[in-house]
Chains A and B, each alone.
Chain A
Amino acid sequence: MTVFCRLLTLALLLFVQACTSGESGVEGQLLFEQQPLSQARVEFYLKSGNERSSSPFSVATTDTSGAFRATLPVGEYYLVGKKKEQGGGVNRMLMSEYPQNPVVVKKSYTAIKPLRLKEVGFEGAISADGKTSANGQLLLAGEALVDAFIYVYTRGDALTGPAYGQVVRADEQGRFTLKLAAGRYWLAARKRNDGSRVGNPETGDLNGEYPGNPLVLKAGEQRQLEPWTLAPVTSSAKQRRLTKGKFTRTTTWLSGRVIDEEQAPVAGIYLFAYRDNRMIGKPNFISSPTTANGQFTIYLEKGGEFFVGARSTFGGPLEPGEWVGTYDDRPDHGIEVRLNEATDLGDILVREVW
């Protein structure tokens, strides 16, 4: 009997194993502008939103047909598609979360609908209807201005930052075409001396808002825009800009000093305040660069919990030679801020990355 029981147990174990050893996971396809997107990443997280871990649980890469197949244990996953594209002097990040998250994986491969990525920054992404457009030409001192970027915003309150819905680059004659749909748009154009598409315009860069803003288009209209002349950013204009937006002086702020490992103050460091404890992406508030004494102030709109980091440059992966640090009184780099109060963070240590 004992032998029979053992054999029965073994048979049951083998049966259970046979039932559970089949592979499971997720398969699907990534698209961008209706085309398959190869060499993109598909990240699988176990949680969403603020609870999402900094590292994905698993990652898959798409093949030449944009397809991916990830082997995953049974469970629920939050799926994000990403691809960073470089070339032609323009870098762009494509990204989307799967709208039907979470994806439930059962005993086999779950096929999901194609995930369409969008360019990061296109918060108000504009879909062209194929028949509505606007054409124009950029000028500088009466001459055609080549290679400037034209940004289309769907809100007119602040024509800065990456919240534009479309961006195009002027050609060799300074001409451009915006493919749009019926609607109301605000246009701005910039040409930075260093060739970048994004970033705060520096003194000497060219900048200008379209004089006919807002641009109101009817369906099917093909509007010829009036000549649009850009002008260099002056030092005083830059200073004025720095007192607006994220740099607006408020009655709630964080201040402190940035020092290096030898306790010496470090100039030129930006402080970033995030609402999100992962401290990734666009910060909610940014300081001006630290002064020669390493001093900084980050002006905040509201109180609450913020997570604070310090870097010598904006965005992108850390490069050799960069300075980086965090506010470390709490392990998560967070601090509770009260509205209408100044909070001194003390010294923030930065180190060089090599």
Chain B
Amino acid sequence: MRFLLIIFLLLNIPTGAAARVIDGPERWQGEIRVTESLRVAKEGRLIIAPGTRVLAEAGIEVAGELQATEVEFSGRNWPGITLKGTSSQTWLKGCRITGAQTGISVIGGAPQLTELLLEDNRIGIELRQKSRARVEDSIFRNNSRVGLFIKDEVTSVVRGNRFEKQGKFGAYIYRALPQQFTENLFIDNPTGLMISHFGSDLLVKNNDFRNNNIGIKVDRTARPKIVANRIEQNQTGIELYRRADPLIELNLLKGNSRAIHVSFSSYPQIRHNDFVSNQRALILEFQSSQWEEQKGAGAREQQISGHGAFGGRKQNEITEQQRGTHGLDGTVDARENWWGEQETAALKGLGPEANLGWIDDGRDQPFFEEDGRSYPLDLVRWSPFSPQPYTLEVLK
């Protein structure tokens, strides 16, 4: 064998792996204790055999290759595994990672992360620096902040994962554009999927959001395409906040307390969706074209000024031209949706200006007040509507 095999075979006593750099091939097996930081250099290759238990007190940084199958990494508030610019020859498959500040930090590169269990970490996996990592068929459970955090123009594939009972967010997409975000399940999270800031214009397709406080939240000029998802039994199915303009198309929104909540100058396109048995299908709040025209840009300028780390730094990375709205006419576009069987029956004979019981807009509350001034609440354009559902075929 050309490899230098360093095999830690242990009976009952864990062996200490000294603080060091791995700059050649190395294989772990049995029970390994990492007591000081460990680095796999660019020319290093660490293979961890199935069944190995890594008890970590310090971080593991990999610039070379790491291949781990069915390995348990555990510790108490340990830093986690950092993959720096690793290729697709670095993979973790079927591993369990617990107790870390960030279970796996991926900085650039294209590692393969599949069938993992990320549990009881602060953050399960964080992807950054334009990483092309694949995150597939993994479970993110009980991570105290975020299951999967995606930043910095990352273009990863995120598919077939389950996000369950995180402390804050199932997945958080911040200024990133995953290549695929599909077939994921979000269940029992405060917020299932958070999509935030200009540039987060990904396609969110064929995912399942159930029993979350908020299924999907879109914030601060993010413009994702939310297509063909099941969004069921959430407190709020989709929350649009602070200039969020997604395309919401071909989704099934069923049994939510509020299917879609639109607020603070958000102008989505909501079309070809099925709204079934929601307490409220569509709610507008603090949403006014007039307010946006008169105060939107100024309010945003005020908001970003003085919001620096210590009070002074600007965050003027995008322009008001990019952030702003165009062609406001006092309406939110929700034409050509199916509003449910009873609702559709009730629509017959009603004109396009009718005040529908399942929509809260300017027809219900004509104005809202700010600083002593009244602003007209926008209206929902719901006509024409669809006489039949769209999603039966799409979501089969």
Contact = CB atoms under 8 A, between A and B. Distances in A.
Contact of B308 (A61, A307, A317, A320): A317
Interface string B6-21: 0000000000000001
Interface stretch (B24-32, B241-249, B299-307): B299-307
A354 B146 CA distance: 11
A193 B63 contact: yes
A278 to B, nearest CB: 4
B312 A321 contact: no
B310 A279 contact: yes
Contacts of A311: 309
A41 B316 contact: yes
A232 interface: yes
B310 A39 contact: no
A121 to B, nearest CB: 16
Contacts of A196: 129
Interface string B86-119: 0000000000000000000001100000000000
A326 B308 CA distance: 12
Interface stretch (B132-140, B278-286, B317-325): B317-325
A326 B61 CA distance: 30
Q: Which of B85, B108, B308 has the most CB of A within 10 A?
A: B308
Interface string B26-49: 000000000000010110000000
A84 B317 contact: yes
A204 B42 contact: yes
B307 A320 contact: no
Given A54-B306, A232-B42, A320-B196, A279 B311 contact: yes
Nearest to B146: A321
A71 interface: no
Nearest to B302: A55
B83 to A, nearest CB: 10
A261 to B, nearest CB: 14
Nearest to B304: A317
B85 A194 contact: yes
Given A41-B316, A193-B108, A235-B21, A354 B42 contact: no
Contact of B320 (A61, A89, A281, A307): A61
Contact of A317 (B108, B301, B315): B315
A309 B312 CA distance: 12
A103 to B, nearest CB: 20
A317 B151 contact: no
Interface string A42-84: 0000000000001110010100000000000000000000101
B295 interface: no
B84 interface: yes
Contacts of B181: none
Contacts of A278: 311-312
A319 B313 CA distance: 13
A54 to B, nearest CB: 4
A22 to B, nearest CB: 23
Given A61-B321, A194-B84, A318 B309 contact: yes
B149 interface: yes
A317 B313 contact: yes
Contact of B39 (A39, A89, A204, A333): A204
A86 B310 contact: no
A18 interface: no
A89 B146 CA distance: 26
Interface size range of chain B in the complex: 35 or more
Interface residues of A, number: 38
A195 B129 contact: yes
B334 to A, nearest CB: 30
Q: Which of A203, A235, A317, A324 has the most CB of B within 10 A?
A: A317
Interface string A18-52: 00000000000000000000010100000000000
A103 B41 CA distance: 55
Given A193-B63, A203-B39, A204-B42, A54 B130 contact: no
B174 interface: yes
Contact of B321 (A39, A195, A235, A280): A39
Nearest to B172: A320
Contact of A204 (B84, B151, B174): B84
Contact of B310 (A84, A89, A194, A333): A333
B316 A318 contact: no
A270 to B, nearest CB: 11
B123 interface: yes
B225 interface: no
Given A193-B84, A194-B84, A232-B41, A317 B317 contact: yes
A55 B302 CA distance: 8
A41 B297 CA distance: 14
B191 to A, nearest CB: 10
Interface in A278-337: 278-281, 307, 309, 311, 317-321, 324, 326, 333
A260 B327 CA distance: 46
B149 A321 contact: yes
B53 interface: no
A149 to B, nearest CB: 15
B310 to A, nearest CB: 4
A311 B305 CA distance: 19
A54 B313 CA distance: 7
Contacts of B174: 319-320
Contact of A279 (B107, B172, B312): B312
Interface in B32-87: 39, 41-42, 61, 63, 79, 84-85
Contacts of B307: 317-318
B309 A324 contact: yes
Contacts of A352: 145
Contacts of B301: 59
A105 to B, nearest CB: 20
Contacts of B21: 203, 235
Instruction: Sort A-B residue pairs by CB-CB distance and give the 3 closest, nearest first.
Output: A54-B312, A317-B315, A279-B310
Interface of A: 39, 41, 54-56, 59, 61, 82, 84, 86, 89, 193-196, 203-204, 232, 235, 268, 272, 278-281, 307, 309, 311, 317-321, 324, 326, 333, 352, 354
18 contacts: A39-B319, A41-B319, A54-B305, A56-B305, A59-B301, A61-B321, A84-B316, A84-B317, A193-B85, A196-B129, A268-B79, A279-B309, A279-B310, A318-B307, A318-B309, A321-B145, A324-B309, A352-B145
Interface of B: 21, 39, 41-42, 61, 63, 79, 84-85, 107-108, 123, 129-130, 145-146, 149, 151, 168, 172, 174, 196, 301-302, 305-317, 319-321
